Amino acid sequence: MNALLGAGRANLLNVDFFEGIARVRDASVDLVIADPPYGLGKDYGNDSDRLNGAAYLEFSRRWIDAIVPKLKATGSLYVFLTWQHSPEVFSYLKTRLIMLNEIIWDRKVPSMGGSTRKFSSVHDTIGFFAKSRDYYFDVDSVRIPYDAETKKARTRSIFVGKKWLEVGYNPKDLWSVTRLHRQDPERADHPTQKPLEIIERMVLASAPPEGRVIDPFMGSGTTAVAALKHGRRFTGFEINPEYFATAKQRVRTLDEEPVRAGGGRKLAMAR
């Protein structure tokens, strides 16, 4: 088995999730960020995205059943899906966890092109779930600053000194973040790579400093980068050796940088 076993902070495994998750202790994970195959037939170097219908739902139930016991009582889970399967997958997740939000990721797709037989799909659906009502959530870490014009409009005495005006507002459940185009400097060689901005918001809000984040379908390693960059520990599984190599390289570029929280320690990875 090819694996990169990190010394404490980063643990990247080039194995199938269903094999690797057995190594994770129950009730040891603060946050799961899952971006499973969507069942749309994309080429990930294997047939993982060719499931549809009942087979896709069975696959979804299987990975959910495997990972839910790993969450702490204060833990939470985000899952990326499309409209094709989100109703059924969310319904099943609600039998295991508490649903907190359905988040719409507006990919800010240009208006040109698209279907002529239905409305063009320009969003992904993200489900946000918690293990219990005592889940961790730090809204202050992800507040969005008010612009100067808004602040100027709130100069009346009743607004002076208001904390919310200074610290910004709570992100809503519509996230407008441009998808990664081929020429984007952040882009790695992966067909469905998610923007770091989105994953960072999840990590900062839902994993405490030094908390443990797991990505069951690691892909190019964006969740690893977000977690390690912000002082969280990370475990990820990726079955495709090329994507695994990409994720490993992205993490290695962080290896000598100080983390942003949790004591300022540098990342340590086994070579």
Look at residues 23, 104, 21, 106 and name the one whose alpha carbon lies nearest to residue 64.
21
pLDDT of residue 178: 87
pLDDT of residue 265: 38
67 and 34 Cβ atoms separated by less than 8 Å: yes
pLDDT of residue 233: 97
DSSP string over 169-226: B---SEEE-----TT-TT--S-TTPPPHHHHHHHHHHHS-TT-EEEESS-TT-HHHHH
DSSP string over 103-114: EEEE----SSS-
pLDDT of residue 18: 95
Residue intervals of the chain classified under CATH 3.40.50.150 are: 3-136+172-252
pLDDT of residue 256: 59
pLDDT of residue 2: 33
CATH number of 3-136+172-252: 3.40.50.150
Angstrom distance (rounded) from CA 219 to CA 170: 29
Maximum CA extent, the chain:
65
Tokens of residue 152, six digits: 């100027």
Look at residues 10, 88, 39, 22 and name the one whose alpha carbon lies nearest to residue 250.
10
Mean pLDDT, consecutive 10-residue segments, the chain of 271 residues? 53 95 97 86 55 87 98 98 94 98 91 77 95 97 84 58 73 91 73 89 98 96 96 96 93 71 38 22
